[in-house]
């Protein structure tokens, strides 16, 4: 398999490093010279990576081409490109619909969208894909797993869900600051909470048959401290805040996609 990357930045770098740490059968990876720092480093580190100045040459050479430029410049960079008939296109570009990409790029056998996160570099991120061509799902399976969305709304729902990352850290920061208020050292509180949440995430992954609701119950002794905190959180509208935040970001994704 020959892979191409148009836009060699943070996320392309993560996908490439992740793939090259696995057995994924790749014979060549052709990356756009821009961004220069990423492409030079990748080519220097890996024999299978080579750098190309011309984006059309990447289209011509690769079996699967990843589009990973920023949305603001996507039309300018991609318009007029021609994909040979058997090329699979995988867009990592946020919000741009497949129909719009097909207006810019002619040819190609299939177009997919995907939302890999930087932790694909360590093969521990599940990537949402749409519609989920077999080869694209297989590739992201190597990077930690893939979930294929049946509809664009479901796919945009994953995009909204991925926007919870900063909120996760807000919860930890608020908890750490509260513990500091009780006299704890910040570094100790940080270490304690990071390990607590990492352990919970690990247990969750190891018990795939348990819903989150079941895990809430499993971690709530009746009349105990965890039950009390969860009840206060919900009473203070923590659950409603999460729903409102996801509704808002979903609406923003739809508006940016021209689908509102």
Ligand X SMILES: NC(=O)c1ccc[n+]([C@@H]2O[C@H](COP(=O)([O-])OP(=O)(O)OC[C@H]3O[C@@H](n4cnc5c(N)ncnc54)[C@H](OP(=O)(O)O)[C@@H]3O)[C@@H](O)[C@H]2O)c1
Contact between 6 and ligand X by CB under 6 A: the answer reads yes
Tokens for 195? 């390990």
The b/e string for 57-78 (b: 16+ C-beta within 10 A; e otherwise) is ebbbbbbbbbbbbeeeebeebb
Please identify, using beta-carbon distances, which residue of 65 and 176 lies nearer to ligand X.
65
Binders of ligand X among 25-64, rule CB under 6 A?
32, 34-36, 38, 55
Alpha helices in the chain (DSSP H): 10-19, 36-45, 55-61, 71-78, 98-104, 134-142, 152-162, 165-181, 186-206, 212-218, 225-235, 238-256
Contact between 72 and 59 (Cβ < 8 Å): no
Phi/psi at 94 (5° precision): -65, 140
Stretch that binds ligand X, among 5-13, 134-142, 147-155, 196-204 (CB under 6 A): 5-13
From candidates 9, 18, 108, 144, binder to ligand X by CB under 6 A: 9
Least separation in angstroms between CB 38 and ligand X:
6
d(CA 137, CA 143): 10
Helix axes 134-142, 10-19, angle to 10 degrees: 80
Binders of ligand X among 109-168, rule CB under 6 A?
115-118
From candidates 7, 18, 132, 144, binder to ligand X by CB under 6 A: 7
Least separation in angstroms between CB 91 and ligand X:
8
Please identify, using beta-carbon distances, which residue of 139 and 189 lies nearer to ligand X.
139
From candidates 21, 54, 70, 244, binder to ligand X by CB under 6 A: 70
Please identify, using beta-carbon distances, which residue of 68 and 176 lies nearer to ligand X.
68
Provide the binding-site residues for ligand X, judged by CB under 6 A: 6-12, 32, 34-36, 38, 55, 68-71, 73, 77, 92-94, 115-118
């Amino acid at each position: 398999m020959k892979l191409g990357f148009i836009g060699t930045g943070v996320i392309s770098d993560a996908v490439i490093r992740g793939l090259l740490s696995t057995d994924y059968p790749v014979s060549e990876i052709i990356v756009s010279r821009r961004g220069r720092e990423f492409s030079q480093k990748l080519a220097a580190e890996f024999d299978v990576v080579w750098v190309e100045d011309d984006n059309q040459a990447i289209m011509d050479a690769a079996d699967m081409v990843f589009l990973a430029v920023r949305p603001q410049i996507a039309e300018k960079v991609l318009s007029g490109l021609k994909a040979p008939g058997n090329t699979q296109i995988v867009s990592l570009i946020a919000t741009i619909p497949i129909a719009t990409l097909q207006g810019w790029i002619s040819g190609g056998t299939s177009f997919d969208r995907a939302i890999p996160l930087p932790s694909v570099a360590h093969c521990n991120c599940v990537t949402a894909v749409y519609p989920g061509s077999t080869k694209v799902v297989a590739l992201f399976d190597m990077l930690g797993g893939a979930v294929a969305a049946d509809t664009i709304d479901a796919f945009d729902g994953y995009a909204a869900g991925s926007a919870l990352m900063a909120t996760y850290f807000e919860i930890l920061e608020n908890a750490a600051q509260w513990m500091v208020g009780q006299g704890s050292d910040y570094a100790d509180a940080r270490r304690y909470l990071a390990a607590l949440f990492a352990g919970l995430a690990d247990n969750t992954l190891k018990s795939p048959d348990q819903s989150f609701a079941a895990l809430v119950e499993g971690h709530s002794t009746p009349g105990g401290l965890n039950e009390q905190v969860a009840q206060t959180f919900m009473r203070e509208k923590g659950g409603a805040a999460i729903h409102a935040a996801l509704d808002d970001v979903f609406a923003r994704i739809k508006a940016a996609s021209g689908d509102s």
